[in-house]
C-alpha cells in the first residue's frame, strides 16, 4: 500500500487534474443538500439534479414534506432509482428534523445518522459540504479509485477505506480529497474497462482534465 507521502502526492495530482472538484449536487442550503444526498443513493448526481429544482420548489421545507402525502412525494421522484423507499425516508427524516431538531439539519455525525435514511456516507457529505467539518465520504468512486491506485487494500470495507484515508491525509484536506477522488473516478478512472496506464500517466503529468 502507498505511504502517506505517496497518497498525498496522488491527491495533489488529482487537484491539478481537476482544480474545481466540488460537490455537484445542486443545493441552496444544508436541508436541500441533505435531501439531495439521500436521493443520490444508487443514482447519478445528474439524475438527482434534474428533479431537485422542482422538488424543492414544491417542498422547500421539512414542514412541506411532512404535510405532503408520501404518494405525492413518490410522484416527484419516480424518475430515479428506489424512489418509493426514498420518498418514505425523506418524509420520516423531515418528521424527525421537526420533532427532534427544531426543523434544522443537525451538525454532528451521530445526530445526522439518527435520521431515517441517513447513513455514514450521507452524514459525512453534509458535515463536509454544508458545515465545512473535516470528513471523508466514501462512495463507489472513492472506494474503487483508492483500491485501484493502491491506497487501500482490495478487500478493505467502506469503513476501512474511510479510516485509511483519514490516517493517510492531513485533516484539513479530507473534504477536498473526497471530491478529487470522486472526480477522478467519475471523469477519468471510470468503472468501465479502460487503459489504466493512461490514468497513471495523467497523474504523473498533472495535466488538467476537462470534466465531461
Instruction: Evaluate whether 100 touches 20 at the Cβ level (below 8 Å).
Output: no
Annotated catalytic residue within 50, 58, 88, 139: 139
The closest alpha carbon to 203, from 188, 186, 191, 182, belongs to 188
The cell numbers describing 141, all together, are: 468512486
**Cα–Cα distance between 154 and 94 in angstroms, integer?**
37
**Would residue 197 show up in a list of annotated catalytic residues for this protein?**
no
CB of 109 within 8 A of CB of 124?
yes
Write the CA distances from 48 to 8, 19, 101, integer angstroms.
31, 24, 26
Q: Which of 121, 147, 195, 197 is catalytic?
A: 121
**SS3 at position 155:** coil
How far, CA to CA in Å, does 46 sit from each of 27, 40, 98, 118? Answer: 13, 9, 29, 20
d(CA 58, CA 185): 33
How far is residue 122 from each of residues 20, 93, 135, measured CA to CA in Å? Answer: 21, 13, 11
Catalytic status, residue 139: yes
3-state secondary structure of 191: coil
* Catalytic residue annotation: 121, 139
Amino acid at each position: 500500500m502507498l505511504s502517506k507521502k505517496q497518497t498525498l502526492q496522488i491527491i495533489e495530482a488529482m487537484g491539478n487534474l481537476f482544480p474545481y472538484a466540488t460537490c455537484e449536487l445542486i443545493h441552496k442550503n444544508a436541508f436541500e443538500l441533505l435531501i439531495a444526498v439521500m436521493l443520490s443513493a444508487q443514482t447519478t448526481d445528474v439524475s438527482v439534479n434534474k428533479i431537485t429544482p422542482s422538488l424543492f420548489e414544491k417542498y422547500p421545507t421539512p414542514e412541506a414534506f411532512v404535510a405532503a402525502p408520501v404518494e405525492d412525494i413518490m410522484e416527484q421522484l419516480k424518475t430515479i432509482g428506489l424512489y418509493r423507499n426514498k420518498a418514505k425516508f425523506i418524509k420520516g427524516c423531515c418528521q424527525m428534523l421537526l420533532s427532534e431538531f427544531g426543523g434544522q439539519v443537525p451538525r454532528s455525525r451521530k445526530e445526522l445518522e439518527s435520521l431515517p435514511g441517513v447513513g455514514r456516507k450521507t452524514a459525512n457529505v453534509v458535515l463536509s459540504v454544508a458545515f465545512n467539518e473535516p470528513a471523508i465520504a466514501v462512495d463507489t468512486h472513492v472506494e474503487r479509485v483508492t483500491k485501484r491506485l493502491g491506497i487501500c487494500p482490495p478487500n478493505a470495507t467502506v469503513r476501512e477505506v474511510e479510516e485509511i484515508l483519514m490516517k493517510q491525509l492531513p485533516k484539513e484536506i479530507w473534504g477536498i480529497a473526497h471530491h478529487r477522488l470522486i472526480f477522478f473516478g467519475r471523469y477519468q478512472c471510470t468503472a468501465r474497462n479502460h487503459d489504466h496506464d493512461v490514468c497513471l500517466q495523467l497523474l504523473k503529468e498533472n495535466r488538467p482534465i476537462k470534466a465531461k
